[in-house]
Amino acid sequence: MRIESELTERGDVLTFVDDAGRIQHATYSLGNGLFFNKNGRTMFNPWKLIHEDELFESWGSYGCHTYRKQQ
């Protein structure tokens, strides 16, 4: 379920959308400001843990939507 919150929790999925509403990137929150992330679709782009500062530096020009599993 999409939520309206600037604070993320463990298990949240953040999507970054362009002006047309198309998802350009998605990442998974591990909590404490860390995200499981992969920039790019090729095998040469590694999965890695990044801090939210790095995430928003790369993707902050897009709109951000947060999704959370209903309890």
- What's the mean per-residue pLDDT of the chain? 93
d(Cα 11, Cα 67) in Å, to the nearest integer?
A: 9
Q: Are strands 34-37 and 48-51 parallel, antiparallel or unpaired?
A: antiparallel
Q: Say what the pLDDT of residue 14 is.
A: 97
Q: Say what the pLDDT of residue 24 is.
A: 96
Residue 40 exposed, middle or buried by CB count within 10 Å (0-12, 13-18, 19+): exposed
Q: Say what the pLDDT of residue 21 is.
A: 95
d(Cα 71, Cα 60) in Å, to the nearest integer?
A: 28
**Global pTM value:** 0.87
